[in-house]
Amino acid sequence: MNESFGTRLRARLDAYGPLCVGIDPSPALLHAWELDDAPAGIERFSRTVVESVADVAAVVKPQSAFFERWGSRGIAVLERTIADLREAGTLVLLDAKRGDVGSTMTAYAEAYLDRGSPLAADAVTLSPYQGFGSLEGAITSAVANDAAVFVVTRTSNPESADFQQPVAGQVLAGAVAANAGHSPFGPVGLVIGATLQRLDLPLDDLNGPILAPGMGVQGATPADVARLFGPVRHAVVPSVSRAVLADPQRLRARVLRYRDECAAHLSPQTAAHL
């Protein structure tokens, strides 16, 4: 029997430290790297990130949007990037934020979670705004494929609060129910921005991982992540993209610095948040 995503994630967090590194081949970053904003440039960018960080980051998160910009050729680069990451042994979290009616969600799950798919990742981000129940097929598929879903709950962008707060409790309740009985983490993680000033959700019973984007350019620091998540910080995977991707020469060094800072702030022994 294969190991569940939760087991694999816990092992990688313990072995490598708590950090997710993004692959975000935006026009601005391609320009900074003196690469063409074209499929070949995106491929070179992605290969460099994989070669520089796959052996030191617990999780790597390609941002699907930056590949989709180039249509089928961009998707082909995304497929090869996912394959390279999986071969390197890191966990791949595809940031695609899909959400739709149940039948269509099943098709998204086939695309991103079914082991046989060329786009299959270890986990994918989903949007719950068609009702948490609409994600059921994707959650079932995640369990069947030893994968996971990370559901948008309280995102890092400043516009999110008023819109998401009213339903965040329902998202949490759905995740708690889906994760019951699993160990060390269930198949449903939450996306909660590291930029939030305070946590307005009780996460103690989540029993799932928390992806926390927003470090670096969006303003959050590893210390902020520890303060925000306090007693559940052992389950947090802080994520960083532009702040480490800005310069290819310094990419690995910056990843190592973020990783070590996150480890120092988020380890169970650290009482910095108290």
Q: Answer yes or no whether residue 236 interacts with ligand LLZGTKA7 by CB under 6 A.
A: no
Q: Answer yes or no whether residue 222 interacts with ligand LLZGTKA7 by CB under 6 A.
A: no
Among 217, 219, 230, 231, binds ligand LLZGTKA7 (CB under 6 A): 217
Q: Do 147 and 113 meet the contact criterion of CB atoms below 8 Å apart?
A: yes
Among 96, 123, 236, 240, binds ligand LLZGTKA7 (CB under 6 A): 240
Q: Answer yes or no whether residue 241 interacts with ligand LLZGTKA7 by CB under 6 A.
A: yes
Backbone angles phi, psi at 105, to 5 degrees: -60, -35
Among 9, 45, 52, 95, binds ligand LLZGTKA7 (CB under 6 A): 95
Which residue in 69, 86, 97, 234 is the catalytic one? Answer: 97
Contacts with ligand LLZGTKA7, 6-25, as mask; x by CB under 6 A: ----------------x-x-
Shortest Å distance, C-beta 218 to ligand LLZGTKA7:
4
CA geometry: angle 209, 58, 4, nearest 5 deg: 55
Q: Answer yes or no whether residue 28 interacts with ligand LLZGTKA7 by CB under 6 A.
A: no
Among 86, 242, 257, 273, binds ligand LLZGTKA7 (CB under 6 A): 242
Direct distance between the N- and C-terminal alpha carbons of the chain, in angstroms, rounded to an integer: 40
Catalytic residue at 61? no
Among 4, 46, 52, 156, binds ligand LLZGTKA7 (CB under 6 A): 156
- Rounded Cα gap, residues 124 and 244, in angstroms: 22
Q: Answer yes or no whether residue 257 interacts with ligand LLZGTKA7 by CB under 6 A.
A: no
CB closer to ligand LLZGTKA7, 146 vs 254: 254
Shortest Å distance, C-beta 246 to ligand LLZGTKA7:
9
Q: Do 210 and 229 meet the contact criterion of CB atoms below 8 Å apart?
A: yes
Q: Answer yes or no whether residue 128 interacts with ligand LLZGTKA7 by CB under 6 A.
A: no
Query: Helices (DSSP H) in 17-154: which residue ranges?
Result: 27-32, 39-53, 64-68, 71-88, 102-112, 136-144
For tokens 């270890």, name the residue: 122
Q: Do 6 and 209 meet the contact criterion of CB atoms below 8 Å apart?
A: yes
Handedness of CA 168, 137, 238, 46 (dihedral sign): negative
Measured in whole angstroms, how far is the alpha carbon of residue 262 from the centre of its chain?
15
Q: Which one, of 19, 11, 20, 7, lies nearest residue 146 by Cα?
A: 7
Summarize as ranges the residues that interact with ligand LLZGTKA7 (CB under 6 A).
Answer: 22, 24, 63, 95, 155-156, 191, 193, 213-214, 216-218, 239-242
The residues assigned a catalytic role are 97
